[in-house]
Amino acid sequence: MQSLDDLQVMGRRVLLRSDLNVPLDLTGTGQITDDGRIRASLPVISKLSDRGARVIILAHLGRPKGGTFEERAAGGPSLRPVAARLGELLGRPVSFATDVAGPSAEETAFSLGDEDVAVLENVRFEPAETSKDDAERGALAQRLARLGEVYVGDGFGAVHRKHASVYDLPLLLPHAAGDLVRDEVAVLRQLTTDPARPFVVVLGGKKPSDKLAVIGNLLNLADRILIGGGMAYTFLAAQGYEVGNSVLEAEQIPAVREVMAEAERRGVELVLPVDLVVATHFAPDAEHSVVPVTEIPPDREGVDAGPQTRALFAVFEFPAFAAGTRALAEAVAAVDGLTVVGGGDSAAAVRALGIPEDSYSHISTGGGASLEYLEGKTLPGLVALEEGP
C-alpha cells in the first residue's frame, strides 16, 4: 500500500476516510462517551492539513435505519457532535456538511482553503453506502469522487466492509493508506506471521459464536489462549459445569468442544477461569460472592473474574464488577514485549480505568476488522488501497 507521504496534497482536496464511530449517550445528552477513535484519527488529519491539503472527512456513525437518506437523517445519529469535538481537539474550526454527496457537501468541499478541514454528514445516511449492489455503491462513489482529487484511507475500523466510501471510492482516485491503517496492518501482520514467543492471546466478549473462527485460526499461531468475558461460561458448560443464569450460547457447546479438542491436539493451552464473582442479578448493587467454577449456584450468574483469575479474565460492565478488567489491563501493561489491545470495548476499558495508553505497544481501533484479519479473511478496504489508479 502506498503511503500518504507519497501523495501530492498541497492545495488539493483530499477525501479522507476516517473511523470516527464513537459511542454516544443516546439515552440522555447525546454526548460522546469515549473520544478515543477521534483522537486516534488526529495525527493523519493534522499531517494532511499541515501539508496544505484541503481535508474532507468521510466517516460513519452507528447503524442508521431507514430506506432513504431523509429517513436515516431523521433518525440519526448525526456526525455533527463528532465534528464539533474534532474542532476542539484540533483547536480550530471544522466545517460541517449536512449531507454526504449533495449540495451542502459540494458547497463545503469547494469552499475550503489550504489547510482547512471539513466533515461530511454520516456516510451511512446514504443507503447506497452499505448496498450489496455494486452499481448502487459505484454510483455513490462517483458522486463522492467529484468532491475530491485524491483519497486517503485511514479508517481501519471499516476496512472489512465492502462499502462505497471504503472499497469503491479509492478505486476512482489516486489513493494511499493513512498512517493509522499502515500501523494497524503492520502489527496484525506481525501477530499472524512471526509473533514473538510466547504468544499469549486474551479473548473476551459475550458470545463464542463471534470468536470461534478467530480461535480456530489462532490455534495455528498462539502458545496460550485465555478465554474470558461472557463467552467463558459456554466453555465452562462444555466441560460439564453448572453455569447458573450466566450468559450462555447452548447451541455453540458442540463447536466449543471441537475447538477445545483441536487445541489439545495442537498443544495450545486454553485457559479458563477457576473462580468467579457470582451475583443474584446483573446490577452494580447486586448481592454477590466468590465461588470456584465447579460450584456456581444454579440461581446466580457470573459477573466478574474471581481473585484467583483476575490477572487473566474480566467482564467490563459495572465499576462494581470491573476488578478483573483492571487486573488484566495492568498485567498486560507490565509485559516487557509487544502488547496489543484490540476491540472497541477493550480500548474503552483501558481508557476508563485511567491506564496510560502508552503503556501498551499498540491499541487497535479495529474491532471487527481486527478480528476478521486474525481469522485470515480478505478485507475489501485493504484490497482497494492496494489496487486502482
C-alpha cell of residue 65: 435505519
CB 340 within 8 A of CB 255: no
Tracing cell 477493550 back to the chain, one arrives at 346
Q: Quote the crossing angle between the two packed helices 36-50 and 179-193, to the nearest 10°.
A: 120
Active site residue 207: yes
Active site residue 162: no
Alpha-helix runs per DSSP H in the chain: 36-50, 69-75, 80-90, 103-110, 134-145, 179-193, 212-218, 232-238, 253-266, 323-333, 344-352, 368-375, 380-386
DSSP strand pairing (275-279 vs 288-292): antiparallel
Catalytic residue among 62, 87, 216, 368, which? 368
Catalytic residue among 344, 366, 367, 381, which? 344
User: Could you count the other beta carbons within 10 Å of the beta carbon of residue 122?
Assistant: 27
Catalytic residue among 13, 17, 36, 37, which? 37
| Pairwise CA distance, residues 56 & 243, whole Å | 51
User: What DSSP string describes 56-68?
Assistant: EEE---S---SSS
Q: H-helix or E-strand containing 292?
A: strand 288-292
Catalytic residue among 80, 146, 207, 351, which? 207
C-alpha cell of residue 374: 486474525
Tracing cell 485470515 back to the chain, one arrives at 376
Active site residues: 37, 207, 344, 368
